[in-house]
Structure 1
Amino acid sequence: MTAAPAIPGSASGLPGPRKRRRLSRKLAPWLFLAPGMLMFLIYVIIPILQSMWISFYQWDGLSPKHWIGMENYVELLDDDAFYTSLKNNVIWLVLYMLAIPAGLFIALFLNQKLRGIRLYKSLFFFPFVISQVVVGLIFSWFYAPGFGLFFALTKWLDGTGIAILANPHLVTYGIIAAGLWPQIAYCMILYLTGLNSVAPDQIEAARLDGAKGLKMLWYVVLPQLRPATFIALVVTIIGALRSFDLVSIMTSGGPFGSSRVLSYYMYEQALSEYGYRMGYGAAIAVVLFAIMMIFISGFIWKMWRDERGL
């Protein structure tokens, strides 16, 4: 008697070709994602969890940690500097939203076929390519008493001049104006990219129906710019909440702590010569992270609903 031929994937116990292909198709995406997920775990997730853990300690960064539970968070509730920083972050968040419509209208202007439009695009694109440190220095000179252009203009108007970075009531608005300059340029680039994908046949159909001006913008152009608007909104909100560099360069939180934001106050408490309170700084970081997660979770939820067509 001759032995029956072995059936792949049955008697031998080894997976057949089809099973191997299915298994490889299932594993391939995870293999490609694994390096990125590993880096995300090491450099993002683990530091976030460590910050949360440190926020329950009293620690100067060198000596042994001392467990104090929720005392850092209780202290935050009675900290006037924390409330000033939180209020300034809210002001940043509200006024930074101006970058989105401003970037949209500049992009609409630059999207037209005009003579010399490339030069205009270069001028509006310039703030995006320079660093925030340079932006902070430029506006510090712009506001500087004595030789700053803004000070000279206000002196010409009222005879005394306004030293905006030395005024506790105006300093936050002056720094926000400096931050809006590159942020508007970034939103403009996003909308310029989105305008290139606007369907010309829909524009022509709307013109034949008599739509023009604001009606054309609202009912035809803006619906096709939803992805660009979504990205601009996310990036602008994150930029407003992590506004550290301009505050550090332009005022170092002054005058009298009136321009602090949560990110700078966290640095001031945890890492500057005035603090070295790692646990308290970590508690501030956790609060800032929670605020960011509220917005980010909302955006992810909306993106998921849009993809599912709900």
Structure 2
Amino acid sequence: MSTATTSTRSAPPRRRRKDDTKLALLFIAPASVGLLVFLVWPLLTGLYFSFTEYTTLTPPRWVGLENYQRLLSDPVFWNSLKVTVWYVILNIGIQTIVALIIAVLMQRLTQSTILRSLVLTPYLVSNVVAAIVFLWILDTQLGIVNIFLQSLGLDPIAFWASETWVIPTIALVNVWRHMGYTALLLFAGLQSIPAGLYEAARTDGAGEVTMFRRITLPLLRPILALVLIMTIIGSFQVFDTVSVTTKGGPADASKVLQMYIYENAFARYEFGYASALSVALLLILMVITFAQYRLSRAGESDLD
């Protein structure tokens, strides 16, 4: 009896678990403030302005759905949407294929960290600098590309002044800049595929093409879907390359949605209508992202 009492008395008191809630809130406070100030508040403000007539010179005047009715009957908006979609198709299609090839080559042929770093080099160049450099390189009169074409006896190509060539040119410039970053994202996804699957496939006599089609693509699908969602959202927001090179020309052939929004807001000071255009772009991206996420089953993995 006394032994039991002594052991009970000598047992150390249980320590209360420390509550780290306040410390956690302190750490996330700066990011939360930035999120509210630079994302949530501008979103809500832009949504409100989209229902107003606002030119910064006078207070916003509530007009209801007038801006959206104007948007639906605006031929420039529909042309900008068509131009943007064409740019996205070219940019994402070429960029994804090239990036996937680079990622597979990095996985299958080399383990060099230096080579992987070099692949990322174009992404370190800002969009504005890349646009200016390619503006010189592809200049109709003095650009090195057209000088080379003329040396072959071919006619120079007006890359920036032709309605046919301007969007493919802008798309290829951005493919050059972003393909390394996209390739590294896909390469990270390839690293998660067990190497034993490839060894078993080789034992069964499968070739590289068969392994890519039967193993790589199916198992890479979740990462590929998420990368496509990210790149499509980014492509719909293209602006700086167009602003530096063509400013929407020739004849609105490169006037993407972001360029049209900018013109309405900062050239015509129609901030209400520009906000309505921005909300329309947001809704388009939400629909595309939701549809792509569901159709590609981005949240599921075949490795489970």
TM class, shorter-length: 0.7 to 0.9
How far 1:169 sits from its partner (Å)? 2.7
Measure, in 2, the Cα distance between the counterparts of 1:162 and 1:90: 24
- 3-state SS in 2 of match to 1:306: coil
Measure, in 2, the Cα distance between the counterparts of 1:210 and 1:188: 28
Residue type at the aligned position of 1:139: F
Structure 2 residue 51 is matched with structure 1 residue 56: yes
Structure 2 residue 207 is matched with structure 1 residue 212: yes
Structure 2 residue 71 is matched with structure 1 residue 76: yes
Residue type at the aligned position of 1:283: A
On the 8 A contact 2:226/2:298 being kept in 1, the answer is no
On the 8 A contact 1:244/1:263 being kept in 2, the answer is yes
Measure, in 2, the Cα distance between the counterparts of 1:203 and 1:51: 51
- 3-state SS in 1 of match to 2:218: helix
Which of 212, 231, 235 aligns to 2:230? It is: 235
Residue type at the aligned position of 2:258: S
Residue type at the aligned position of 1:134: V
How far 1:88 sits from its partner (Å)? 1.0
Q: Tell me how many residue pairs correspond in the alignment.
A: 288
Q: Tell me the TM-score normalised to structure 2 length.
A: 0.83
Structure-2 residue corresponding to 1:188: 183
Measure, in 2, the Cα distance between the counterparts of 1:152 and 1:271: 38
Structure-2 residue corresponding to 1:100: 96
How far 1:80 sits from its partner (Å)? 2.1
Alignment of 1:105-184 (within 5 A): 105-113=101-109, 120-156=115-151, 159-184=154-179
1:114/1:67 Cα in 2 relative to 1: closer, same or farther (>3 Å)? closer
Measure, in 1, the Cα distance between the counterparts of 2:23 and 2:222: 29
Q: Percent same amino acid among aligned pairs?
A: 32
How far 1:136 sits from its partner (Å)? 0.5
Residue type at the aligned position of 2:100: L
Larger mean CA deviation between 82-91 and 289-298 belongs to 289-298
Residue type at the aligned position of 2:72: L
Measure, in 2, the Cα distance between the counterparts of 1:37 and 1:120: 38
Deviations 1:35-72 (A, max 9, x none): 54443233212211111110111111232222222221
- 3-state SS in 1 of match to 2:207: coil
Measure, in 1, the Cα distance between the counterparts of 2:219 and 2:26: 35
Measure, in 2, the Cα distance between the counterparts of 1:186 and 1:289: 24
1:67/1:145 Cα in 2 relative to 1: closer, same or farther (>3 Å)? same
- 3-state SS in 2 of match to 1:166: coil
How far 1:209 sits from its partner (Å)? 1.8
On the 8 A contact 2:223/2:298 being kept in 1, the answer is no
- 3-state SS in 2 of match to 1:69: coil
Structure-1 residue corresponding to 2:81: 86
1:100/1:160 Cα in 2 relative to 1: closer, same or farther (>3 Å)? closer
How far 1:206 sits from its partner (Å)? 1.5
Question: Cα RMSD over matched residues?
Answer: 3.1
Measure, in 1, the Cα distance between the counterparts of 2:56 and 2:274: 11
How far 1:251 sits from its partner (Å)? 0.8
Measure, in 2, the Cα distance between the counterparts of 1:156 and 1:77: 49
Structure-2 residue corresponding to 1:4: none
Residue type at the aligned position of 2:276: A
1:255/1:200 Cα in 2 relative to 1: closer, same or farther (>3 Å)? same
How far 1:259 sits from its partner (Å)? 0.6
Q: Tell me the TM-score normalised to structure 1 length.
A: 0.81
- 3-state SS in 2 of match to 1:97: helix
Residue type at the aligned position of 2:269: Y
How far 1:195 sits from its partner (Å)? 2.8
1:25/1:209 Cα in 2 relative to 1: closer, same or farther (>3 Å)? farther
Structure-1 residue corresponding to 2:254: 259
